[in-house]
Amino acid sequence: MDRQNSESAASSARQDITTNTIVSLNSRQTKRRMTQHYLLILVNQNIDENTKDCRDTLAQLRAVVNDLNVCTTPEGCIDLLSEMSEGKAFVIVSGYVGQQLVPEIHSMHVVDAIYIFCGNKARHEPWAKDWPKIRGVFTSIKPICESLKKVAHECDHDWIPMSVVPKQAMAGGATGLDQDNLDQLPPSYMYSVIFKDIILEIDDDDAKSLKTLEIYCREQNIPETEINELKRKYHQKSPIWWYTCEMFLYGMLNRGLRSLDMEAMSKLGFFIRSLHLQLQQLYQEQSANFQKPFTVYRGQELRQQDFQNLIDSKGGLLSFNNFLSTSMYSQIAASFVQRALNRNPDIVGVIFIMKIDPSKISTSITPFAMIDEHSALPQEQEILFTMHAVFRIGEIKQTVENSRLWEVQLTITDESDPQLAGLTDCIKQEVGGSTGWHRMGKLMLKVGHFDQAEELYNELLENSSNDTDRAHIYHQLGWLKNDQGQYQAAVTFCEKSLEIKRKTLPEDDVSLADTYGNIGIVYKNMGEYLKALEYYEKSLKIKEISLPPTHPDLAASYGNIGIVYDNMGEYSKALEFYEKSLKI
């Protein structure tokens, strides 16, 4: 759209597409989750949604960044940026308003790029040069969109989710970790371990999964053109091609893994598995090229806090919890991170120098391949690793050329390493479950991520196909609500689980005893001791029939009943049950 009129004309091109895709700060609604980890803010006070010029402009912008927000005042923009705890924001503003707004927002860590969109380029270029985050002064929308594509790609590159495991958390290694060591592990690392298991378990129908993803994308307001292209051409292109093309999949996957968006992760599971399997296949085809150890490089910007965490964890592990793109050329990594340093004074630039010895890893667990011939955006000598590639952190040193640029030595490892295998086995034992998704739910409850756990269990419930699964999910939702202190909701979910189990299991099945016992715990937490006692006694009756007399579950039941009598002031009865528990 050519901008040859006045600056006021430039400022009128805003709004529409649909009222769901543009959010005005004057009447801000409950915001949908970010499909990507960045959003675009258009600041303009003269919005005219009825003009074709405006609609065309917004359509072009939204085709690049799905999450498009319109602010009618500079204050609205500042408020929106202040609400962001993470992620990146790109801001488009007119020259006149920009002179007032840029000094207010430039230092905000979430602001990554600013565009001045006006009708008089010569007037605004001189002051714009003083602000490094301003990407330029523009009189038409097309070059802004071209720049936004590049900036969004850079953000996707840097936003890969990572986990750092301190060296002390690995004490015990192959011989097993104690609980204190396990508690030091970052939840994101444990999630990554379990999610990789989930992906390898998936045996989905691609056609059904693709349809489910299509519905989800529409709910997230992904552009219809991109959804239709995915639907029409999914089987014509390889998973690597889809992963590397400039569409929503890459950003959605990155954001889902970083923020533990269970809905997005479950919808994308079939695609992640396909990508992993293609890397396995390509590695087999290219194995002759990887007979000897070699080095790859990755340039990345890190927040000061994340970089300090890396320094503090020297000798520990660094896990990349998404697929990992690297280059055989150090110059490519260095040039990428140098551009980031030039525009943002608040970040640290890191060049990861990764030593790869194929003989030290299992390529079925950690496959990698050169993807130049399969990528939608070929880059010479690009090597892609599967998700949850794990490295030992070696030397970390400052470069001579730039005090904000550091080199970090990494050496690849995986479950072929006995110490790492011990760590992985310990995580899996701690959060046992019949499937990977159920292990994920248990882990979320364990670390207190209740919102994500509830989202996951609701997703599993929607897709469950048998009574056993549904009973288990209701049971877990009951525990979740109990841990949140929402006791009445907890009782409701546990009773739903009990209802299913009583229809499908014998009356003396020990699984019924567990559910009766859990309902008793909830009533005890509510202070309804007679109700608690009723359910504890039902649980105990089944356990006395089904379990040997010295089973620890019997001791737990006796102890629970003792606590209830204790709370009721019936101390002699409490003592009787405490003694029974103690004998076991």
What are the φ/ψ torsions at residue 95 (nearest 5 degrees)? -65, -45
Alpha-helix residue ranges (DSSP H) falling in 65-113:
74-83, 95-105
The pLDDT score that the predictor gives to residue 196 is: 84
pLDDT tens digits for the chain (584 residues)? 333 333 333 333 333 222 223 343 333 333 345 566 899 999 988 877 778 888 888 889 988 898 899 999 999 999 999 999 888 999 999 999 999 999 999 999 899 999 999 999 999 999 999 999 999 999 999 999 999 998 988 888 888 889 998 887 766 554 555 555 566 678 888 888 888 888 777 776 788 899 999 999 998 888 899 999 999 999 999 999 999 988 889 888 988 888 778 788 888 989 999 999 999 999 999 999 999 999 999 999 998 999 999 999 999 999 999 999 999 999 999 988 988 888 888 889 999 999 999 988 888 889 999 999 999 988 778 999 999 999 999 999 999 888 899 999 999 998 777 878 888 888 877 777 777 788 888 888 888 889 989 988 998 998 888 999 999 999 999 999 999 999 999 999 999 999 999 999 999 899 999 999 999 999 999 999 999 999 999 999 999 999 999 999 999 999 999 999 999 999 999 999 999 999 98
Give the residue range(s) of CATH 3.40.50.2300 domains in the chain.
7-157
Phi-psi region of 353 (alpha: psi -120 to 50; beta: other; left: phi over 0): beta
Distances (CA, A) of 500 to 149, 467, 493: 51, 7, 11
What kind and span of H or E run contains 299? strand 294-303
Of 124, 49, 34, 48, nearest in space to 80 by CA: 34
d(CA 105, CA 109): 9
User: CB–CB of 372/379 below 8 Å?
Assistant: yes
The pLDDT score that the predictor gives to residue 260 is: 77
The pLDDT score that the predictor gives to residue 14 is: 30
Give the residue range(s) of CATH 1.25.40.10 domains in the chain.
464-583
Question: How are beta strands 294-303 and 162-165 bridged, if at all?
Answer: unpaired
User: CB–CB of 302/347 below 8 Å?
Assistant: yes
Domain 7-157 has CATH 3.40.50.620: no
Sheet bearing 162-165, strands edge to edge: 162-165, 317-320, 389-398, 405-413, 347-356, 294-303, 324-327, 382-385, 368-370
Distances (CA, A) of 190 to 75, 154, 163, 316, 497: 41, 27, 9, 15, 28
In sequence order, the 6+-apart residues with CB closer than 8 A to the CB of 288 are none
The pLDDT score that the predictor gives to residue 569 is: 96
Of 174, 261, 272, 192, nearest in space to 436 by CA: 192
User: CB–CB of 262/459 below 8 Å?
Assistant: yes
DSSP 421-468: HHHHHHHHHHT--SSHHHHHHHHHHHHT-HHHHHHHHHHHHHH--SHH
pTM for this prediction = 0.78
User: CB–CB of 82/102 below 8 Å?
Assistant: no
d(CA 193, CA 200): 11
The pLDDT score that the predictor gives to residue 21 is: 31
* Paired strand residues for 88: 38
3-state class (DSSP) for residue 51: coil
In sequence order, the 6+-apart residues with CB closer than 8 A to the CB of 282 are 367, 369, 370, 371, 374
CATH assignment, 181-428: 3.90.176.10
Q: In terms of residues, how long is the chain?
A: 584
CATH of 464-583, one of 1.25.40.10, 3.40.640.10, 3.30.70.940, 2.60.40.2240: 1.25.40.10
What are the φ/ψ torsions at residue 187 (nearest 5 degrees)? -55, -35
Q: Which residue has the tokens 């085809």?
A: 285
What tokens does 276 get?
């992993």
Written as one letter, the residue type at 576 is E
In sequence order, the 6+-apart residues with CB closer than 8 A to the CB of 119 are 3, 4, 5, 6, 7, 9, 10, 139
The pLDDT score that the predictor gives to residue 30 is: 34
